[in-house]
Every structure is written in structure tokens, then in C-alpha cells.
Chain A
Amino acid sequence: GQSLEQPSEVTAVEGAIVQINCTYQTSGFYGLSWYQQHDGGAPTFLSYNGLDGLEETGRFSSFLSRSDSYGYLLLQELQMKDSASYFCAVRALNRNAGNMLTFGGGTRLMVKP
């Protein structure tokens, strides 16, 4: 099976930088994704890492180390609107070479003024 671990909650101030870590255990691996979810809203895709290294998209970056089964999401220049839950998710090998994503428990980010 698959399991993902991420901190349940992180608090930071506006303008700061925050890193949300994710470690995973899977029987196979096809990449790590990050999704953002505001309260009462739908998960929204942020980034994907299929290979080791850093992917940058504006204020958000995501990193993957496949040898360490570890990744993180880096949010820079935090804004109040970044207050949301952030989920890491893996597309893992299964008997059908998988359409399914397995999500972590989510990290609730609270940005304070």
C-alpha cells in the first residue's frame, strides 16, 4: 500500500517563507503532486515532480528526492490568501499502472498578519 506523512499544521507570518514536508512509502512511484484546498473548496493542482530536483512556479516551488522518498512544497512571500490546506499526493504503481492518486493527510497553513 501507500502512505504519506506531512505535518498537520503550520503557522507563518505574511511575507515569510514556509516549507511543507512530505515523506512517502509506496510500492512503486510515478511522481509527487501538490494540491491546495481552501476551506469548503475543491483541491486545486499546484505542482508535480516526476524527477529529482526543484520545480518552480512563481511563489511556489516543489522539490523531490526519490532516493529519500521525500519532497517538500516551498511557499515564498506568503500572503493571507495562502491560508489553506496543502496535500501531497503520489501516483503509485498498482496492478493497472494506476489512475489513482493517494493523498496525504494535509497540512493546514495559517498565515498571520
Chain B
Amino acid sequence: EPEVTQTPSHQVTQMGQEVILRCVPISNHLYFYWYRQILGQKVEFLVSFYNNEISEKSEIFDDQFSVERPDGSNFTLKIRSTKLEDSAMYFCASSERRVAWNSPLHFGNGTRLTVT
């Protein structure tokens, strides 16, 4: 069964550094998302991406964050200058269409980001 893949599985970085989290969504999916989950807390929406542009973003997704689809397969999340509070598990997800009854989100296994 096709799956969403994320790399790396764990990233440790120092405060103020830039990080890029990488994702390969399922190939025939059209909508891509980033969510994050601080340890022990709920999954929070960051951004959705369709047709090479951001279609929705949350208040968390400020100017320090950006997303890109540099080629036909990868989907990246960049954090420009990391803060301690950015430490979380970051999940990439994709769906065939906008979230609807027959188009659930398919999540990757996540990248655990630790900012020291």
C-alpha cells in the first residue's frame, strides 16, 4: 500500500538554526499538509498546500515557516530560525482531495524535531 514517507525521523538542532523537514506524499494525491504534535498533546494543523500554493494556514504557521514542493515528489517544511517551543513531532499528510468522507488524511511517521 502506498505511504507517505518523511525524513529524517529525528532531527536535533540548535536554537536559531534553520531546519528543513522532508516528505514524499502519496504519488496520486493532490493535497498536502503539515501538522505538528507537541509531546503528549493533540495534533495541530499548520498548513495545507494545493496546486503549488498554500491553501490554508493556521496561526502557528508564522513568517518563520515556509513550505515548498521543489519537484514532482518532495514536499518540504522549512523553519527559518528555530525556537525551543518548535520542539515537536512534525507530521506530513496527503489526501486525494480536500478532506471529505472518502478522502482521509494519510500521515507519515513523522519527524521528531528537538531544538536545544
Contact-size category for A: 20 to 34
Q: Across the interface, which residues of A come within 8 angstroms of B98, CB to CB? A: 97-99
Q: How many residues of B contact A (CB 8 A)?
A: 26
Q: Which of A30, A42, A96, A104 contacts B109 (CB 8 A)?
A: A42
Q: How far is the CA of A59 from the CA of B109 in the complex (A)?
A: 25
Residues A103 and B44 in contact, CB atoms below 8 Å apart: yes
| Nearest CB of chain A from residue B52's CB, rounded to whole Å | 15
Q: Does A102 contact B (CB under 8 A)?
A: yes
CA distance A41 to B89 in the complex (A): 10
Q: How far is B99's CA from A30's CA once the two chains are assembled, in angstroms?
A: 9
Chain A residues, CB < 8 A from B100: 30-31, 50, 91
Point out residues on B near A: beta carbons under 8 Å.
4, 31, 33, 41-45, 48, 50, 55-56, 58, 91, 98-102, 104-110
- With contact pairs A98-B99, A100-B56, A100-B58 given, residues A42 and B91 touching in the complex (Cβ less than 8 Å): yes
How far, in Å, is A74 (CB) from chain B's closest CB?
18
Closest to B57 in A: A100
Residue A10 lies at the interface, judged by CB distance under 8 Å to chain B = no
In the A-B complex, list the 9 residue pairs whose CB atoms are closest, starting with the nearest: A45-B104, A99-B48, A42-B107, A100-B45, A103-B43, A48-B101, A105-B42, A91-B99, A50-B101
